[in-house]
């Protein structure tokens, strides 16, 4: 599956050690990717940060989505995934945590750490457990008004993302959005 990632940083592989420093972890810990190139371009400039001098657009590949390898932030969790998590944690997932991937993911993190507040450590633990059980991704729509449209994906394990192309890009701010002005391909 081909996706995109925008960043002000040049790198050869993804690394989650700095996760949460750019745009946060609203959709869990992971490498944030999108099916929409323009979205990746926009996010190459972190919010609430002075304009960065460099911007890069990464084209990446990940394994295709299957019914069994991802959760969807605002949709019910597949029963097969619930069963694997219940077996791993030796507990029953509460009914109210099954109806949305977001609540399910947060419940896992809180259960693993004992914390009632979900922060970076809880998200890290949830991502590690889910990935170890073959649940590789958290998915959400690029536009809440189009739930079945293009997707954003958080990949829980950075090693599962392969960079196939990297381009240095120039961006400009137009109509409250960062857009592509120019691009040049970089070698990997």
Domain ranges of the chain: 2-66+140-186, 70-136
Phi first, then psi, for residue 132 (nearest 5°) are -65, -20
pLDDT in tens, 2-47: 999 999 999 999 999 877 665 667 888 999 999 999 999 999 998 8
d(CA 83, CA 21): 33
Query: In the predicted model, what is the mean pLDDT of residues 53-71?
Result: 96
d(CA 87, CA 129): 12
For residue 187, pLDDT beyond 60: no
Mean of the per-residue pLDDT values of the chain = 92
């Amino acid at each position: 599956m081909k996706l995109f990632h925008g960043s002000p940083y040049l790198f050869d592989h993804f690394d989650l050690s700095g996760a949460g420093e750019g745009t946060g972890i609203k959709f869990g810990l992971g490498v944030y990717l999108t099916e929409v190139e323009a979205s990746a371009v926009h996010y190459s400039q972190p919010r609430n940060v002075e304009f960065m001098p460099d911007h890069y657009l990464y084209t990446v590949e990940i394994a295709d989505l299957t019914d069994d390898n991802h959760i969807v932030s605002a949709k019910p969790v597949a029963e097969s995934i619930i069963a694997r998590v219940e077996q791993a944690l030796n507990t029953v997932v509460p009914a109210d945590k099954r109806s949305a991937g977001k609540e399910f993911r947060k419940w896992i993190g809180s259960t693993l750490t004992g914390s009632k507040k979900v922060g970076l450590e809880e998200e890290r633990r949830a991502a590690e457990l889910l990935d170890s059980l073959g649940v590789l991704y958290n998915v959400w729509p690029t536009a809440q008004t189009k739930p079945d449209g293009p997707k954003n994906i958080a990949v829980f394990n950075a090693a599962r993302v392969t960079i196939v192309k990297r381009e240095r890009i120039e961006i400009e701010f137009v109509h409250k959005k960062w857009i592509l002005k120019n691009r040049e391909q970089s070698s990997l």
